[in-house]
Structure 1
């Protein structure tokens, strides 16, 4: 029987923290690995020991097996837990662990190798009798073959990276004219993300549900499933809301889907935690999608409805112990629901965001679990996945869980980096979601209006609160401890408060009793500051007492409002900036990242909408296109170069 006492966690962020909570509670010592960008990260602070394994880019650190194995050797670790992502589904890494005398806490290298290839796994599932959707999973990968197979399958169809996951290397193609460009993008993203550009094609089901089954096997031949999860609410083919059980599940469907998942597991003699994913059509038929040979991001909802700790199960199975439950002993209780908080801009096609996390206070109340690896003040960099953390709740019913989760999302303080918090609240409150009437196309179908995805414009009341806090910070800095300081007492002060590209003029007049009368957009708002510190403010606005979390950095103020955050700037003394338009010809980086492809050179003639270069950030490739017709001038970057947000990459000059 394998024995181990010190576990190296070959991952970072929230999953590394999650694994450490269980391993340390069970008495194991832990070793963290970290890149230069993560030197002071929470998962590093939590560990008993930590080893620097390389620079920030993942291929030089978290995807560097020799460095990780050397860290295990140097610290005396005798087991490695890969978490999810990075090397968790790398068969060669699993073999290298075994060859180094380390226990790999996961399935066999053979199972990882087979199920890690969407092409080979689908062939194996067909042979095992698991229902599969029509597609092409052949070895020929040239464009001509893929075009012929696409015409045979018909449109719409899905392109998928054979070695992929997490929505990377996946593209929906609606018409044949788009196929070649989407193949190019999917291949490039797959190669950069997984080191393998092999693709498969599949018929695209129209708005199915995405339902997955958690399976667990041990070294004694036992294999059971722990129920299902509904993961249908997605953007960019990546899940953002998950729940257990699936709200449309019946006993008969659960039996059939569970049997299919177990058949998939038995086909590869599966040991450990794994997930078999299916697409569930409106007619009740389901089809194999893929198998993930690791713990999933969404595993907490299964833990909450089963009362089990899946990481503890992983450790026991790796140590050779039998599963503690038989299939007939499994019981599901209540309903669990989870959201993923991402640093991204939903109004700009979910573009990942970077910056400094100036405020982080997750809701702290019974019934709300937060899995994260965040520290207030840390930098959110372009090198890693943009997921910040997860909020998870459990309720006696689905509606109770949904209501708890909506409040948790609204109350979460996340300041300094733009996030999907407002979108998550909108999804949880949508009548169709409340009624369990949704599929994988829910966001595209019901959140098509830009206003539903963009950050809301500030209300007059929110502008007044921001103005009052700027005013408070000003008098506090001039006369600390003298609440109520103001220059030119009795005279109205004039402010210009900005949010994004817009400014609003406001006036503020302070009364002798401390009341602030703030004028905004024809409204007069009466406001009193009761208690203010650097993190929170209690105030009365038009007779209603409120509390808001806030952070201030010079002229920048972040205010926590339900259901998200707003970023205000005091532009009272700033010069009015001249506006540039999309037609100025400047191509700027939309965020920090690396240029992975440059498709033009100086002097090239380009058309509006033409692809000029590709930027990779947070594991996703972002096509950068021309805003106008013209000629490329001043090409300022080259392939492989790291760039900063808003950095000028090139200029397109209008042809005369």
Structure 2
């Protein structure tokens, strides 16, 4: 086992990793930008190293500075968390060249799954169901027209190196294909320095369901059930839950095996997520694989009693997974609490938190790096923390989440708490009748007494 791990990240995920490391008797090194000097991950790590000014490209994305911090502190391994360098094959490869263990999959696995067109081809070869579409990258608008005529409209054009909802365009009619094709390539080149795109059939009104997988260095891969991540705004997840209200035991077994097959196809090591679209007939299609820990991993932890960060670390240390019986108990929901103003199109609300009161009670968990008088910097994502609750049933979990949201008091900045509270009272949400487009029509009313 490692004696010291450097966490190449910030905020709540850095603090989350530090907590598990302490329980495993592993020393930790935090890195931070000058904007994060007062963050809790800096306070609770055993050591901390400043790696640059606020912009991510000058700090959390600066590979030489992170490696230097690891070397001067004698860290044996680096945990990348999520975002930043977590799915960067180059970073993983460089860590290995410096005899520092990257806590995550191999560079080859990251490359195979990071490029969506390559990932799709790998899944087809492994027998995992994929959305009908182009077999590889589209080289011309003429080729795009041929593919679309074959699979039928609507279609979605996707950037091969895309992510986070960027570089994606839905085309409903043939007349709009050329314009959207050109715009998608331009967006992809600007955002990812890679204009390559591919085309898929657009699955209408689907659920977004992801399967949590774990792999070790001994060829073992297991799955830990699913999370439903269908409630999204602009392709950004708002709320996640497990189990999915769409799921049946038979579908879970089938999707779980498909996820295991996907992970084994690239000799996967550590924690990863295989993401699927599931249509109204419960047919599922591979979408992508995230080769890292997910923001929403706590809902899986709460219903399976696995510490996914500990499993990542043990896999990286070469420890074979224990033969544990997989069981899902009860229901868990996670709400992402962001410093955003839902009354004004979710614009960011950076600034100082004046009052910060956390909810409590049975089966209530808050993963956060914030506190009263903490200043939310404007340089990074707007997430303040995650509120996770669990209960024996989905109905009970919704009630517990509503009560916890009412107790969660943050003053000084605007947050998404009022939006989540209204969602807990939404009848369609309560019945599990929603899809990935549901929030596009969700009418947020900050004052329930105002019509």
Give the TM-score band, short-chain normalised. over 0.9
Q: 1:199 to 1:43 in 2, by over 3 A?
A: farther
> Unpaired runs of 5+ in structure 1?
460-656
1:368 corresponds to which residue?
364
Instruction: Quote the offset at 1:102 in angstroms.
Output: 0.4
Q: 1:424 to 1:49 in 2, by over 3 A?
A: same
The one-character-per-residue Cα deviations of 1:124-159 (angstroms, maximum 9, x if unpaired) are 111111101112353345566556645655443323
1:46 aligns with one of 20, 44, 47: 44
Provide the rounded CA distance (Å) in 1 between the counterparts of 2:60 and 2:367.
20
Instruction: Quote the offset at 1:19 in angstroms.
Output: 0.6
| 1:378-457 pair list within 5 angstroms | 378-445=374-441, 447=442, 449=443, 452=444, 455-456=446-447
> What's the Cα RMSD here?
2.2
Preserved contact between residue 8 and residue 66 of structure 2 (Cα < 8 Å): yes
Provide the rounded CA distance (Å) in 2 between the counterparts of 1:420 and 1:180.
38
Greater gyration radius: 1
Q: 1:364 to 1:182 in 2, by over 3 A?
A: farther
Q: Given the alignment of the two structures, is residue 204 of structure 1 paired with residue 202 of structure 2, yes or no?
A: yes
Provide the rounded CA distance (Å) in 1 between the counterparts of 2:233 and 2:212.
22
Q: 1:412 to 1:184 in 2, by over 3 A?
A: farther
Preserved contact between residue 138 and residue 198 of structure 2 (Cα < 8 Å): no
Preserved contact between residue 120 and residue 137 of structure 1 (Cα < 8 Å): no
Provide the rounded CA distance (Å) in 2 between the counterparts of 1:352 and 1:47.
28
TM-score (norm 1): 0.65
| 1:270-289 pair list within 5 angstroms | 270-289=268-287
| 1:157-556 pair list within 5 angstroms | 157-175=155-173, 186-187=184-185, 190-191=188-189, 194-326=192-324, 329-445=325-441, 447=442, 449=443, 452=444, 455-456=446-447
Instruction: Quote the offset at 1:377 in angstroms.
Output: 2.6
Larger relative contact order (Cα-Cα within 8 Å, sequence gap ≥ 6): 2
Instruction: Quote the offset at 1:41 in angstroms.
Output: 1.3
Preserved contact between residue 210 and residue 229 of structure 2 (Cα < 8 Å): yes
TM-score (norm 2): 0.93
Provide the rounded CA distance (Å) in 1 between the counterparts of 2:169 and 2:39.
33
Provide the rounded CA distance (Å) in 1 between the counterparts of 2:236 and 2:267.
28
Instruction: Quote the offset at 1:78 in angstroms.
Output: 0.8
The one-character-per-residue Cα deviations of 1:473-528 (angstroms, maximum 9, x if unpaired) are xxxxxxxxxxxxxxxxxxxxxxxxxxxxxxxxxxxxxxxxxxxxxxxxxxxxxxxx
Instruction: Quote the offset at 1:458 in angstroms.
Output: 9.2
Q: 1:458 to 1:255 in 2, by over 3 A?
A: closer
Q: 1:457 to 1:209 in 2, by over 3 A?
A: closer
| 1:574-613 pair list within 5 angstroms | none
Provide the rounded CA distance (Å) in 1 between the counterparts of 2:326 and 2:163.
29
Preserved contact between residue 41 and residue 375 of structure 1 (Cα < 8 Å): no
Provide the rounded CA distance (Å) in 2 between the counterparts of 1:141 and 1:355.
46
Q: 1:131 to 1:6 in 2, by over 3 A?
A: same
Provide the rounded CA distance (Å) in 1 between the counterparts of 2:130 and 2:29.
41
Provide the rounded CA distance (Å) in 1 between the counterparts of 2:242 and 2:428.
18
Q: Which moved more, 1:375-384 or 1:57-66?
A: 375-384
Q: 1:398 to 1:99 in 2, by over 3 A?
A: same
1:539 corresponds to which residue?
none
* Structure number having the greater helix percentage: 2
Provide the rounded CA distance (Å) in 2 between the counterparts of 1:199 and 1:352.
30
Preserved contact between residue 234 and residue 443 of structure 1 (Cα < 8 Å): yes
Provide the rounded CA distance (Å) in 1 between the counterparts of 2:144 and 2:327.
45
Provide the rounded CA distance (Å) in 2 between the counterparts of 1:7 and 1:193.
31
2:14 corresponds to which residue?
16
Instruction: Quote the offset at 1:44 in angstroms.
Output: 1.2
Preserved contact between residue 4 and residue 103 of structure 1 (Cα < 8 Å): no
Q: 1:457 to 1:233 in 2, by over 3 A?
A: closer
Instruction: Quote the offset at 1:347 in angstroms.
Output: 4.2
Provide the rounded CA distance (Å) in 1 between the counterparts of 2:27 and 2:389.
29
| 1:96-115 pair list within 5 angstroms | 96-115=94-113
Q: How many residue pairs are counted as aligned between the two chains?
A: 450
1:83 corresponds to which residue?
81
Instruction: Quote the offset at 1:100 in angstroms.
Output: 0.5
Provide the rounded CA distance (Å) in 2 between the counterparts of 1:193 and 1:389.
27
Instruction: Quote the offset at 1:168 in angstroms.
Output: 3.2
* Structure number having the greater strand percentage: 1
| 1:610-621 pair list within 5 angstroms | none
